[in-house]
A and B are shown apart, each in its own frame.
Chain A
């Protein structure tokens, strides 16, 4: 019903976008580019390395193909998994193909993404349409994506897996974006995104806990039960300003809410400073806060006390801060043979996660060695994560 209403709004806007199309200068595809990417994430009991190759090639002035391959290797497990399961080793492989076609002031884009883990398979076709208008000061973008997930649980070990497939989930993403040039130095954009989910939405590796006087620790663990549906709305506004001495400052804010009663705010500030034509330095600060889902509790009063129950820390009330620094060095500033430019980039970020109603039951319990905490009185969980990204980019 909600989607029907959204479509009633989107269809006239799409028609309006088509009517406004004029035949002056056309939209332009970006330069060809190839990237080698490496990342490392450490924090919260997990180490994840990521490797990627990607390439974008224009075949004509108005048609381009993109391809990217990404592999994540995970070892360890987050605290809410480690409290009841052994250390996990897993990998995720993702292939994405994207086709872009420019016709006059309209850009059409079609992509398909496939992601495979031992216990999780995900496929996403996505389509979008962008229209430049008002002397190319305004760009309107409409997008739609549909993701189908197959969700399983590995009951074996890291080396001898035994995956039980638990169910499917399907999500649809509806996107509407406006980008507006405000002055010769200032650009801003507004993005709306509604996502609907249906199916198996729980994380099978996480458990609830409930008070149990018969248990040695005073509590027992049980299965999470999630609703089968979820609808979320995100609205983001971002703005970027060109400073007089050739630098750029960007601000963004995103408001999020969903039918699970999670409300979240995200603020981000980025500053970009080039030095000659060899270096681009960038600093980033991000702040995030969210309220907990209506069916989340760190400790339920007894087993089966609610229809829906979760103790996934992603659904707890939390906040986090990110500080990031990025340096890009042009090792081929004037190009070489068929290459127009070559750059190397190092990006380092630290994220500090703090949970407001999720306690650390891995490190603390009611034994003398665990600090003698009664169930529910354990210290709140927090952790820091460090992310390194290193990549080589060739433009041609």
Chain B
């Protein structure tokens, strides 16, 4: 919890610094063709990503942090 609080405060400070006008957007909209390529999407296939998360969460002691939600046990 302490780690989470410290990281949140740090990111908040960075955001406020950026808002104060010192930092301008450095990648223009017309420079984002590569980032828009489908191979740059985090999880191209949501069903498959959610399925693999469920496989791991049912067999490991850890969970969360991956941005997808699941339900059920499936753990016999």
Contact = CB atoms under 8 A, between A and B. Distances in A.
A39 B55 CA distance: 11
A293 interface: yes
Contact of A134 (B25, B58, B76): B25
A231 B62 CA distance: 11
A41 interface: yes
Contacts, number: 212
A90 interface: yes
Interface string A281-293: 0000000101001
Interface in A335-382: 345, 347, 349, 351, 353
Interface stretch (A100-108, A183-191, A214-222, A298-306): A183-191
Interface string A249-263: 010001010101010
A175 B67 contact: yes
Interface string B8-48: 11011001101100011111110110110111101001111
Contacts of B23: 134
B65 A192 contact: yes
A339 to B, nearest CB: 16
B40 A248 contact: yes
Measured as residues with beta carbon below 8 angstroms from the partner, the interface class of chain B is 35 or more
A178 B12 CA distance: 11
Interface in A28-62: 35, 37, 39, 41, 46, 48, 50, 52, 54
Contacts of B65: 191-193, 234-236, 254, 256
Contact of B55 (A41, A192, A240): A41
Contacts of A68: 47
A195 B76 contact: no
B64 A232 contact: yes
A177 B4 CA distance: 12
B51 A78 contact: no
A37 B76 contact: no
Q: Which of B1, B12, B61, B63 has the most CB of A within 10 A?
A: B61
A203 B76 CA distance: 8
A264 B61 contact: yes
A1 B18 CA distance: 31
B48 A347 contact: yes
A314 interface: yes
16 contacts: A12-B12, A37-B51, A52-B51, A94-B72, A113-B70, A173-B69, A189-B42, A236-B65, A240-B40, A256-B64, A293-B61, A314-B58, A318-B61, A347-B48, A349-B52, A387-B55
5 residue pairs, one from A and one from B, having the closest CB atoms:
A135-B25, A234-B65, A115-B72, A193-B64, A256-B62
